[in-house]
Amino acid sequence: MIAEKIILGIDPGTAVMGFGLISVKKGKMEMVAVHELILKKYPNHETKLKYIFEKTLALIDEYHPDEVALEAPFFGKNVQSMLKLGRAQGVAMAASLYRNVPITEYSPKKIKMAITGNGNASKEQVAGMLQNLFKLKEFPTKYLDASDGLAVAVCHHFNSGTITDTKSYSGWDSFLKQNPDRLK
């Protein structure tokens, strides 16, 4: 049995990217860190993607997570927004795979369901449940994207060993085997 497992949860975004880290020791969760990256200030999409990649690598190098969990992009009406969000997620995935950290994706509904019991819960409800779960007087960040990143990590812990409708990759070879259509 692993004595401790560190999980990095990421809510990818191009305006704000949230992340949360939890430690799991003997089945007990502790919040290690929660924060957001403010990307609105960067002049273009390429610079934002570069910063997401560098920050994800820095988080991995600082905290040495055993696993990374990401929120999968949701399907919306704005194709350009979906494309940008998918790129942000892809860059975070690439950084994790670059450091050989296994990744797992979760749908927004699955994350909300794991935290609140309601797949249609609001961001405020998710943050409130996490605040209660970790016994926080108030949530330590300005944006709810950070609580979403923490929620992804918690969802991953709750679903460890019972993952059914998620995708998990242990490296580039694993990613390519599960996604042969992405290889050109």
Domain span at residue 59 reads: 3-180
Question: Angle 147-74-172 (CA atoms, 0-180°, nearest 5)?
Answer: 90
Binding residues: 11, 71, 145
DSSP per-residue string spanning 107-176: -HHHHHHHHHS-TT--HHHHHHHHHHHTT-SS-SSSSHHHHHHHHHHHHHHHTTT---S-EEESSHHHHH
Sheet holding 167-169, edge to edge: 28-38, 16-25, 4-11, 67-71, 103-106, 167-169
Q: What's the whole-number average pLDDT of the chain?
A: 88
Q: What is the pLDDT of residues 90-133, one digit of tens each?
A: 999 999 999 999 999 999 999 999 999 999 999 999 999 999 99
Q: What is the pLDDT of residues 153-177, one digit of tens each?
A: 999 999 986 444 455 666 666 666 7
Q: What is the pLDDT of residues 87-96, one digit of tens each?
A: 999 999 999 9
Q: pTM (2 decimals)?
A: 0.85
Q: What is the pLDDT of residues 55-66, one digit of tens each?
A: 999 999 999 999
Q: Which residues are catalytic?
A: 11, 71, 145
Number of separate domains in the chain: 1
Q: What is the pLDDT of residues 142-156, one digit of tens each?
A: 888 999 999 999 999
Binding residues for Mg(2+): 11, 71, 145
- Kindly state the DSSP code that residue 10 receives in the 8-state scheme: E
CATH number of the domain at 170, please: 3.30.420.10
